[in-house]
């Protein structure tokens, strides 16, 4: 091992107190410094943090943004989400590949560039989009892709690609990004103006139990997807025994088609941090963590600055706003490209410096979470609602929205619509009305809640967006009349296969079997009996999987089978050959032919 690696790694580990639970930060910093996390670097990290190489390697190999082998100095990650592909990502990819002389996943021989695909980067409203190292480039075309490569060849600093700045804080000196907020409709809860400190002041005038009572009176439910009542979660956590407690904000936002948290982080960071601080007061925590997805690294410096300003203003730190004994601070934990880390127990594993493996439940995080201590995990938008409830009162909040779903919801809409972007709407709004608002009147299919949600057709557009009807963490993807919903379902299945952590068989294997059978139907080789197969296997994967990823991954197939059955029936034929399109008979018998020393008599050569 070279002296350089050892000393660089030691310096980095020292900065993190040689603490193995900070493995995500250590690995990220080592990669930034050395270009990759090589075997010798992993051994050096293991030595410095008192752990084993296998523990370091399990982290490096798990996350898409970490690499053991050197990549190009500039890594171009093009989003290949369904929406991006609809908007021309395939042609953009071709242009990148032609210009660089590589195929996806390859590095140029001079080590200057790597080009690869990545799942949804949270920019579906300005697709096709890519990350050039940490810098987002949006609304791409083939011409733009060629220009980007030429410009990077002249100057490899990706920040120079930003020729025009986005709106709002996207233009802040610490962001300097071309990303657009696309806020189409503001509302009274999340996107209304906010004066830092007012909500916190009011919360601190109450007892922690009263703050929790207010969250319950407001009937606030989690905005991350599952809709669990926030006050009840906090009450469990407050009551759970533990010498420390933690507050974690889930800013992983990996569900394809969701990008509303990106806008909150950019424009309402104070509202969010204030909500986390109120949560800390309510449950008795002194520390909070914002788990920020790796794709949003471009917002990190800005968010750190907001935290610093809040420290200077006495809104974080010791004896907050003069309240003796109330100490609370927040650190940012970067993710590194793993959708499953949005699942709260996987997210906790990641914060602990481990692979993003989901954990068995019970115990629930509120009882035994981060480092084994009681932990509240809430979505970005949920914490914003918390601040607003503290500021304006539980009664005010409870009268917004619909009976079972008080408040407003931030929706991110993209795809075949004229006004993609972020809308704050009252819960209970009919989907049809929302589609009209976004210029999606001729929608033929709508994916509500991302791939883990449901694909619905026009007969269901009269239904309402709320927890008791069409529930969504915020993603609405629109597909016009020319789109093939079965191809879309196949692409979503490819996403789940890629993102499964592989721990349990139903999810690891079942999703591949489901995708292959759907692929065979899409290729015109499917049999009518395939529909029952998909239904039964899909239900089995849902029932037998360990975490929410596997429990929802068959939804693209199951909900299209339910709502677009005619599309399946039009593709299957009783006389189809039923062969898998990707099955290569010749390759399959090649080894047997070699062993037998003769050509198969069953193959036509
Ligand atoms: C595969 C998977 C991905 C998830 N991704 C997110 C996410 O990106 N953001 C989020 O807030 N919740 C996500 N969740 C839900 C979280 O597990 C958890 O329910 C949520 O963070 C709780 O916050 P809330 O009660 O405020 O909604 C995900 C769940 C699963 C199963
Ligand atoms: S369901 Fe999938 S993602 Fe969840 S634990 Fe099992 S393999 Fe991992």
User: Does the Cβ of 502 fall within 6 Å of ligand 2?
Assistant: yes
The whole-number average pLDDT for the span 444-467 is 97
For residue 248, the ligand closest to its alpha carbon is 1
Q: Is the pLDDT score of 555 beyond 70?
A: yes
Q: Which ligand is nearest to the CA of 548?
A: 1
Please write the tens of the pLDDT for every residue from 354-408: 999 999 999 999 999 999 999 999 999 999 999 999 999 999 999 999 989 999 9
pLDDT of residue 117: 98
* SS3 sequence of 118-145: ECCCCCHHHCCCEEECCEEECCCCHHHH
Ligand with smallest separation from the Cα of 472? 1
In tens, the pLDDT along 476-526 reads 999 999 999 999 999 999 999 999 999 999 999 999 999 999 999 999 999
Stretch 318-342: mean pLDDT: 98
pLDDT, one tens digit per residue, over 253-265 is 999 999 999 999 9
Strand ranges (E), 343-474: 375-379, 408-415, 421-426, 445-448, 454-456
Percentage of the chain with pLDDT > 70? 98
Mean pLDDT (whole number) for 173-186:
98
Sketch out the chain's domains with CATH numbers: 2-60 (no CATH), 74-163 (3.40.30.10), 184-398 (3.40.50.11540), 408-479 (3.10.20.600), 485-571 (1.20.1440.230), 576-605 (no CATH)
Q: Angle 34-40-46 (CA atoms, 0-180°, nearest 5)? A: 100
438-452: per-residue pLDDT in tens? 999 999 999 999 999
In Å, how far are 96, 155, 190 from 150, measured between CA atoms?
Answer: 10, 9, 41
- The residues, any chain, with a CB within 8 Å of residue 298's CB and separated by 6 or more, are 134, 135, 136, 175, 177, 179
How do beta strands 421-426 and 408-415 pair? antiparallel
Pocket of ligand 1 (CB under 6 A): 222-226, 228, 250, 252-255, 340, 342-344, 377-379, 382, 547-549
- Beta pairing partners, 445: 479
Asked whether the predicted pLDDT for residue 583 surpasses 70, the reply is no
- Residue 213: per-residue pLDDT: 98
| Closest ligand 1 atom number to CA of residue 383 | 26
pLDDT at residue 592 in the model: 83
Q: What's the pLDDT at 591?
A: 79
Model confidence band, residue 269 (pLDDT cutoffs 50, 70, 90): very high
Assess whether pLDDT exceeds 90 at residue 225: no
Nearest CA to ligand 2 atom 4: 547
- State residue 597's pLDDT score: 86
Contacts of 429 (CB under 8 A, 6+ apart): 464, 465
- How open is the CA angle 199-200-201, to the nearest 5 degrees? 90
* pLDDT tier, 582 (very low <50, low <70, confident <90, very high otherwise): low
- At residue 603, the pLDDT reads 65
- 550, 558, 453: which is closest to 507 by C-alpha? 550
155 has a pLDDT exceeding 80: yes
The percent of the chain in helix, strand and coil, each rounded to the nearest 5, is 45, 15, 40
Distance CA(172)–CA(599), nearest Å, equals 68
CA of 409 to the centre of ligand 1 (A): 15
Minimal-distance CA residue to ligand 1 atom 13: 342
pLDDT in tens, 90-140: 999 999 999 999 999 999 999 999 999 999 999 999 999 999 999 999 999
- At residue 576, the pLDDT reads 84
- 3-class DSSP assignment, residue 400: coil
pLDDT at 37: 98
Question: In this predicted structure, what is the pLDDT of residue 2?
Answer: 64
In the DSSP assignment, the letter for residue 364 is P
Instruction: Take atom 29 of ligand 1 and give the residue whose Cα is closest.
Output: 343
279 close to ligand 2 (CB < 6 Angstrom): no
Q: What's the gap in Å between 561 CA and the centre of ligand 2?
A: 23
> By the 8 A CB rule, do 306 and 273 touch?
yes
Q: Quick one: which of 586, 16, 105, 14 has its CA closest to 333? A: 16
Give the pLDDT of residue 96. 98
Q: What is the mean pLDDT of residues 201-216?
A: 98
pTM for the model: 0.95
**H helix runs in 482-584, sequence order:** 485-499, 505-522, 530-544, 548-552, 555-563, 565-571
User: Nearest to residue 131, comparing CAs of 264, 267, 273, 262?
Assistant: 262
> Does residue 433 have a pLDDT over 80?
yes
Q: pLDDT tens digit string along 277-295?
A: 999 999 999 999 999 999 9
Task: State residue 403's pLDDT score.
Answer: 87
131, β-bridge pairs: 77, 136
Please check whether residue 450 is in contact with residue 555, taking contact to mean a CB–CB distance below 8 angstroms: no
Distance from Cα 308 to the centre of ligand 1, integer Å: 27
Mean pLDDT of the chain: 96
Give me the mean pLDDT over the 245-252 stretch.
Answer: 98
Ligand 1 atom nearest the C-alpha of 342 is 5
Ligand 1 center–CA 342 separation, angstroms: 5
**What integer pLDDT is reported at residue 3 of this predicted model?**
65
**DSSP state string for 20-75:** GGGHHHHHHHHHHHHSS--HHHHHHHHHHHTS-HHHHHHHHHHSTT--SS---SEE
Model confidence at 574: pLDDT above 60: yes
Q: How far apart are CA 24 and CA 265, in angstroms?
A: 21
Query: What's the chain's length in residues?
Result: 605
Conformational region of residue 192, where left means phi above 0, alpha means psi within -120 to 50, and beta covers everything else: beta
The answer, yes or no, to whether residue 154 has pLDDT greater than 70, is yes
The answer for residues whose C-beta is within 8 angstroms of residue 69's C-beta and 6 or more apart is 36, 38
568/523 Cα distance (integer angstroms): 12
352, 21 contact by CB (below 8 A): yes
Tell me: pLDDT of 50 over 80: yes
Query: Cα(302)–Cα(397) distance, rounded to whole angstroms?
Result: 30
Are 562 and 456 in contact by the 8 Å Cβ rule? The answer is no
- Ligand 2 touching residue 508 (CB < 6 A): yes
Separation of CA 80 and ligand 1 centre (Å): 22
Residue 490 C-beta-side C-alpha neighbours within 13 Å? 14
Q: Which two tokens stand for residue 287?
A: 């520390």
Judged by phi (left if over 0) then psi (alpha if -120 to 50, else beta), residue 428 lies in left
Query: Of 283, 253, 254, which Cα lies nearest the Cα of 369?
Result: 283
């Amino acid at each position: 091992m070279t002296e350089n690696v050892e000393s660089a790694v030691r310096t980095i580990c020292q900065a993190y107190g040689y603490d193995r639970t900070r493995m995500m930060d250590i690995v990220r910093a080592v990669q930034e410094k050395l270009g990759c996390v090589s075997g010798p670097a992993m051994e050096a990290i293991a030595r410095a943090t008192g752990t084993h190489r296998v523990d370091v390697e399990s982290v490096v190999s798990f996350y898409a943004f970490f690499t053991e082998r050197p990549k190009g100095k500039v890594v171009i990650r093009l989003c290949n989400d369904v929406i991006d592909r609809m908007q021309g990502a395939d042609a953009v990819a071709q242009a990148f590949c032609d210009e660089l002389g590589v195929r996806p996943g390859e590095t140029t021989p001079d080590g200057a560039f790597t080009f690869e695909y990545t799942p949804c980067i949270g920019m579906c409203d300005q697709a096709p989009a890519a990350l050039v190292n940490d810098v987002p480039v949006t609304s791409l075309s083939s011409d733009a892709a060629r220009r980007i490569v030429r410009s990077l060849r002249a100057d490899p600093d990706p920040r120079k690609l930003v020729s025009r700045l986005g709106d709002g804080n996207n233009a802040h000196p610490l962001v300097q990004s071309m990303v657009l907020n696309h806020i189409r409709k503001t509302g009274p809860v999340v996107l209304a103006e906010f004066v830092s400190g007012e909500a916190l002041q009011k919360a601190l005038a109450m007892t922690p139990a009263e703050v929790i009572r207010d969250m319950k009176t407001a009937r606030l439910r989690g905005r991350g997807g599952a809709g669990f009542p926030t006050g009840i979660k906090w009450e469990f956590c407050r009551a759970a025994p533990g010498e420390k407690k933690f507050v974690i904000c889930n800013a992983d936002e990996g569900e394809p088609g969701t990008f509303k948290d990106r806008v909150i982080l950019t424009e309402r960071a104070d509202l969010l941090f204030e909500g986390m601080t109120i949560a800390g007061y309510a449950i008795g925590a002194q520390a909070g963590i914002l788990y920020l997805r790796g794709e949003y690294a471009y917002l990190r410096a800005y968010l750190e600055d907001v935290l610093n300003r809040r420290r200077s203003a006495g809104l974080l730190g010791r004896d907050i706003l003069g309240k003796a004994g109330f100490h609370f601070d927040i650190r940012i934990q970067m993710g590194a490209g793993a959708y499953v880390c949005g699942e709260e127990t996987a997210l906790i594993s990641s914060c602990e410096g481990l692979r993003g493996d989901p954990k068995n439940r019970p115990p629930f995080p509120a009882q035994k979470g981060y480092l084994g201590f009681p932990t509240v995990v809430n979505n970005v938008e949920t914490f914003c609602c918390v601040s607003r409830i503290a500021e304006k009162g539980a009664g005010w909040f409870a009268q917004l929205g619909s009976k079972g779903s008080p408040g407003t919801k931030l929706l991110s809409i993209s795809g075949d619509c004229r006004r993609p972007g972020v809308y704050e709407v009252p819960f209970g709004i009919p989907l049809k009305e929302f589609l009209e608002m976004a210029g999606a009147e001729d929608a033929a299919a709508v994916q509500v809640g991302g791939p883990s949600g449901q694909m619905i057709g026009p007969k269901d557009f009269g239904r309402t967006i709320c927890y008791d009807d069409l529930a969504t963490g915020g993603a609405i993807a629109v597909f016009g009349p020319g789109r093939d919903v079965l191809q879309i379902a196949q692409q979503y299945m490819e996403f789940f296969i890629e993102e499964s952590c592989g721990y349990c068989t139903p999810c690891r294997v079942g999703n591949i079997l489901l995708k292959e059978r759907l692929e065979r139907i899409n290729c015109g080789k499917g049999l009518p009996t395939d529909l029952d197969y998909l239904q039964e296997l899909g239900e089995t994967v849902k029932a037998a999987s360990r975490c929410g990823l596997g429990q929802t991954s068959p939804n693209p197939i199951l909900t299209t089978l339910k709502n677009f059955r005619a599309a399946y029936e039009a593709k299957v034929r009783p006389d189809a050959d039923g062969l898998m399109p990707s099955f290569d008979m010749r390759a399959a018998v090649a080894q047997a032919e070699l062993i037998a020393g003769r050509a198969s008599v069953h193959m036509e050569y």
